[in-house]
Structures are given as structure tokens and as C-alpha cells.
Structure 1
Amino acid sequence: MSFRFLIFYLFFVLEILSQTTENWNKKGIDALKNKDFLTAVDSFKKTLKDKPDDAFANYNLACTYSLLLAQCEDIESEVHIYNLIQKAIKSKPSYQKKLLTDTDFVILRGKYYFQKLSGKTKKDILTSITWFGPSPGAYGPMDQFQFKEDGIFIYSKLDMTESNPIGKLEFTGRYKWINDSQLEIQFDDPSPRKEIGKNKNLRVNYSDGKLEIQGFDHQFTDDNDRCSA
């Protein structure tokens, strides 16, 4: 086999693969527009089988899984979506700018790792999502924190008293950012717990995707347990 023929053969193979990729990507987009999510998944996967780093297929497969997740459908895993997005951004950095405005990802905007992929710092992420406590029953998370950019936080918890079984109590306070792994909070009066009290600085350990707050016996994460509530 001559060198010239070998070059021609390789060019021919690459051209065929390129056309096949374009066809599967187009079929995937058409299926996505028609909300035929299973066909979309299958089409983008076929592209990635031949071209694992294809930015378009990785990004749009992530979009498809996100839409399925919004319907509480079973998907491979939420982490798999983040891996697909990461691959897409690596091959095509401009995709990072689309993340927070792409309506296909609405269900993920309140997630720590999604915000991180969009390029936000830990300080920015703190105020961009709601931090939920565990969900032991049918009413969803038992409590939650929301941190505002102006240094104020709102803590709310379910009021499970007999007179108001599904009510909600709210408490406010201020927080002080210390570094990427720690902050301090201080409740206003009244405080949600007598043992916490007013004017007491509480240490908050801030690791990837979770908060451990002094005085609380559980962690706070971005998971509101939406599909099992």
C-alpha cells in the first residue's frame, strides 16, 4: 500500500465518520425537540461511541439526562451528567457560558457541582443555592438555610406541632465569610434553639457540596430529595 493511498484511505474513513457523527447528532437534536428522550439518548451515545470527546454530543446528552431527571426518571446518575458537561467544556470552552441560561438545565441550577462547573467560586455558590437538611418523612427537608449576598441568612424549619402540623418557622441572622472552607453565623433573637441563643457565633465547615454547622446534629446539602418526597 503506497503512502499516497494510505493518506487517501484515512481521509476517506475520517470523512465517513464525520458524516455519521453529524447524522446521529442531528437525529438526537430532532428527538430532543420532540421530547423523545430515549431516542435522543441513543443517538448521542452512538456519536460518542465513535467520538468520545465530541463536545456537541456530550453537551446535548447531558441536556437530555437533565430533562429526564426533572421528570424523576431513572438515569445513570447525576454525577454522569456532570462528567458529560465537563467533557463538553473541555472540548469546547464556550459551553461553560451557556450552563446557567440553558433551560434544559433548570433542575440542576440549585446543585453545588453544576454551579461549580459554570465557573463560580465557593463563595458565590454559597448564596446561589439552598442548603437542605435531611428528609425523614413525606414533607420534604426538615430544615434549610439560604444565604444572601448582603451577609444575611434565613433559616427555616418545619413546625410539626399538633396545632400546625405542616407549618414553617423562620429565623434570621448574619454570617461572616472566613475562607473557602469556613464561615461563621450568628442568629438574631429569637434563635431556633435555646441552647444556641442570640449573639453566639457558630462555626460552619464548608466542604464541597455540604455544610456542617455547629449546634446541628445533621449536615446541609443541595439535595431536597424532590423525587421521593
Structure 2
Amino acid sequence: MHRLLLLLTLVLAAPSFAQSARALNTEGFRLYQAGKYPEALEKFEAAAQADPKFALAQYNVAATLGVLRKQGQICPYSAHRQTILERLNTAIQLDPRRLARAKEDADLDPIRDTLGWQKLLGRSPTRQADVPELLRRITWFSPGEGVYGSTRKLSFSEGKRVVLWRRIIEDPTRTEEQAGTYTVKGRTITLTFPGKKPIPGRMTARGVLEFEELGTFLDSPSECEA
């Protein structure tokens, strides 16, 4: 009898949870339209918590984090690229139609050059044929170095051009860029910079770049580290 009453209570409560989630999402959208993005994020998060299967709320969390990232509010709101991708993936799993919207949504521009976004488009580092495209589509960052975060970045472009960006930790700190060329054969990638011997490397099946001398590169920078 007690079990029956519990099940009945849950069934009756379910619509109210959904209604609450929709109401919270509507409040969030109004705040978003008014440019009050932190407040909108709070409402969208509350809507997603009220109904974890509410795809639109999950999507709106991802989009609002994208806006906050564009505004440079990364650390205060944990607007990391991977966090945005996680929420977007959740939304798409709940409602695959969300992917079509995401392709046109400027709020999600900060994640276009990530491995996670490329996977949503059907590309994968497990397929060697996709390696050249992934190299060009993704911006690659070194792991963080304490408070300095990522100190190296690689950008590949058409015409087999590559640019290596570095932050030199000295007093004063400075940055420098080196332009060079690259070749790809299967998973093997070779970088060549003027006046230096070629630097061999590879893309792993997990989508990580590994180079002799330069080390490892990932699709997201290290941010907000203490």
C-alpha cells in the first residue's frame, strides 16, 4: 500500500516538475533577451535541475555559457569549452534536433574549433582520413603551467601552413609566433620551421597531438588554474 501511494505521488508530481522547469526556462529566456546573462544562466540551470530531461534548458545553459565566454567571463561562471560541450551534448542526446539549431547559433562559436564539436559533425580521430581536417579545424593548446595556463598554441591552415604561438615566461612576459609548414601521412605529422630540423609527431586515436620537443597539445586551453 505504501509503495502504491509513493508511485501515485510521483506520477502526480511529474507534471508539476515539468511545468516548473518550463516556467524557469521562460524566465531565463526573458533575462537572456534583456542581456542579463548571469541571471539567465541561473534560471536555465534551475530549469535543467527541475527536469533533467528538458533538452531546451540544457541547450540554453550551453548557449548562455557561450555568451559569457565571449564576454571574457570564463572563470566566474566556469564557461569552459568542455563544459559548454558537455551541456550541448546532453541537449542533443535528449533531442537530436538541437544539433541543427547549434550549427546556426552564434552563441556557440567559442566551441567550433574543438574536437567535441568536430565529433558532433561526424569527424573522428579514430579515422585516419579525418586527421588532416581535424588538424585544420581545431585550435591546439599545450597543458597548463601553473598560473600561466597554456603557454603554447598550434594553428594549422590550408596550404600546409602552421603557426606556433608561445608565451615566454620571463620578466617581462612576452609572446612570439613562428610560421612554418607541415606534412601529414596517416597519423604522423611533421612540423618544419625555418632554420630548424623537422619536428615529428602524431595524432592519437583520442585526438591528442604529441610532438617530440614540443610535447602534448589538446583542443582546449588550461584556464582559471590557481
Q: Which has the higher contact order (CA 8 A, sep 6+)?
A: 2
Match of 1:214 in 2: 212
Q: Which runs of 5+ in 2 are unaligned?
A: 1-8, 126-130
> Deviations for 1:43-74, whole angstroms, at most 9, x for unmatched residues?
22333334211111110012223333441223
Instruction: Indicate yes or no: 2:73 matched with 1:71.
Output: yes
| TM-score normalized with structure 2 length | 0.71
Give 1:29 shift. 0.7
Amino acid at match of 2:174: I
Say if 1:227 and 1:50 are closer, same or farther in 2 by CA, change over 3 A: closer
Unaligned ranges ≥5, structure 1: 1-8, 192-196
What do residues 141-173 of structure 1 show as CA deviations (whole Å, max 9, x unaligned)?
4432212244332334457899x9735241312
- The answer to whether the 8 Å contact 2:68/2:79 transfers is no
1:166 alignment partner, one of 146, 162, 174? 174
Give the match's secondary structure for 2:104. coil
Fraction of identical pairs, as percent: 21
Which of 123, 129, 134 in structure 2 is aligned with 1:125?
134
**Residue 157 of structure 2 is aligned to residue 148 of structure 1:** yes
Residue aligning to 2:108: 105
- After superposition, the Cα gap between the structure-2 partners of 1:205 and 1:20, relative to the gap in structure 1 and judged at 3 Å, is closer
Q: How many Å separate the matches in 2 of 1:87 and 1:168?
A: 38
CA contact (8 A) 2:201 2:209 kept: no
Give CA-to-partner distance per residue, 1:99-144, whole Å, 9 cap, x none. Answer: 3432222333333323333443333332112212356488874432
| Aligned-CA RMSD value | 3.7
Separation in 1, partners of 2:174, 2:148: 8
The equivalent of 2:5 in structure 1 is none
Instruction: Check conservation: 1:127, 1:148, Cα contact below 8 A.
Output: yes
4+ residue segments displaced more than 6 Å:
9-14, 137-140, 159-162
**Larger helix proportion of the pair:** 2
